[in-house]
Structure 1
Amino acid sequence: MPTRRRSARDRARRELGQNFLIDEGVVRRLVDLLEPTPIPVVELGAGSGAITRDLVRSGREVTAVELDPHWADRLRDAFPDVRVVRCDMLDYRFPTAEHAVVGNLPFGLTTSMTRRLLTEKSWSEAVLLVQWDVARKRAKGANQLNAQWAPWYEFQLRGRVPARSFRPMPAVDGGILKVRRRLQPLLPRGEQRRYQRFVEAVFTGRGRGTTEIVRNVTGHRVRNLPALPRDLQAEDWARLYAETT
C-alpha cells in the first residue's frame, strides 16, 4: 500500500513537470548569484524547499510559489516565516515593489514562464534553472525572443547542471540562466511594442541576408550589417531600429 501511494505521488509530480534539485552545491550557486542587496525574493516552483532553505538562511524575505498542495503544506510547516502562495507560477501576481526572482522551472514551462517574467516591471534580476539548451540559446542571443527584449534585459549563462542533480532525473541537463534588467535601457520602454514588431518583421522578412531584409521591411538601405538577423547584437538592434523607424 505505501508503495502505491509513492507511485501515485511520483506520477503527479511528473505531470506537474517537477524535477527536484538535490545537489546542495547547485543550490548555493543559485542563491550566491543573487546580488547582495536585501530586497525580497520570489521563488518560483519551490517544491521540496531545497532552494527555499538557503534563501531563508541568507536573511531575505521570501515568497515561495508552489502549485502542488502537498509541497505547499510542507513548505508552510518547514518555513513559518516564508509566505507560501499555492498557485500556478504562470498565474502568480508579482509584487509591485522591487524584488528578485529565483526558480527551478519545470522544463516544459521554461519559454512561457520566461516570456511572462519579461512582461513584469518590478523585478531587478532573475536566476533561473531551466533546460540546458534553452539556457544556452537565451544567453547566446541569436533568436527572436532575445532580440525583442535585449534593449531592456541582459541574459547570461552561468553554468550547466547535470541531470543527476535532480530527482526524478530528467532526460537532459539543466542550465543556470541569469537575467538582469538594464539600469540604462537601450530604448525607452514606451517603444517596446513598436520595436518588437520591428524585430519580428526583420526575423520573418524575405530577402537574401540582413541588408536586403531590412530594405524590404523598412525601405531603408543600411550598410555594414551582419549576414543574418541572428548575428545582430543588442546594441545593433537598437541602433538599426532608431535609424529606420
Structure 2
Amino acid sequence: MEATAVKTGTLYGVGVGPGDPELITVKAFRLMKECAVIAYPRKRMGGKSYALEIVELYVNTNEKEMLGLVFPMTKDKAALDREWNKTVTLCYEHLKEGRDIVFVTEGDPNLYSTFIHMARLMQELHPEVPIRSVPGISSFLGAAARLGIHLADGDEQVAIVPATEDRDAMKKAIIEHDTVIFIKVAKVIDMMIDLLEELDLADKASVVTKVTSPQELIWRNVRELKGQELEYLTLMAVRK
C-alpha cells in the first residue's frame, strides 16, 4: 500500500498590531490557538521579541513549538542571503511535515514587515507552500488614535514615509501631503526637527515610541528630542 503524501503546511503572516494585546484581530487569535508552530522575530543579542510580547497573553508556549527567527540588520548581501535562507529552511522543516506556521509580526504583515521578504523567498524556494496573510492594525493607526488626530478627511492626502537622511525627499513629503507619518525616525530625529522648524511646522508634529504598548512614550513638543537617542520603534506624525 502506497504511503499517502503529507500535505504541506500553510505559512501565515499574522499582524498583531502596534503593541496593545487587545488590538489583535479575532482571526489572529484563532490562528494562534489552532496552529502548531508560532514563529517570531528574535533578537540576536538577548532581549525579548516585541511581537512575542504582544501575543504571549494568548499563546501557551508549553503547548506550541516556538520558533525564534533571527533577521540580520546588515546591508552585507552575502550575510543577508545566508541568514534569510537559513530562516526559510527552519520554517520549511515544519511546513513539509504538514505543520502550519503562524509568523507573528507587529503592525501589519504587508507593510514594511519582515514577513514580506520571507514570503517572497519561501515562494521562490518552495512554491508548493501555501502562504496567507492576516492584516493587523499598523502603528500609524495606533498613533492617530493615541494622539487624537485625524489622518485624512475628504480629499486630504496622507503619506507613510520611512525617514531617511534625504532631507529634500523628507521636505517634499511634508509639503505635498496634509498628513505625513515618518516611521523609523529615531536615526534622523535631529534633522527632522530642523526641517520642521525651517517649515514653521514643529508645533504640528508629535513623536511616539512603541505606540499603545505599556512602554509607550509620547512627545508633543518635538523640540525636546534634539540630541536624544530614541527606540527603533519610533514614529513622527506631522498633521498640517
> TM-score, structure 2 length as denominator?
0.31
Instruction: Choose between structure 1 and 2 for higher RCO, CA contacts under 8 A separated by at least 6 residues.
Output: 2
> TM-score, structure 1 length as denominator?
0.31
Structure number having the greater helix percentage: 1
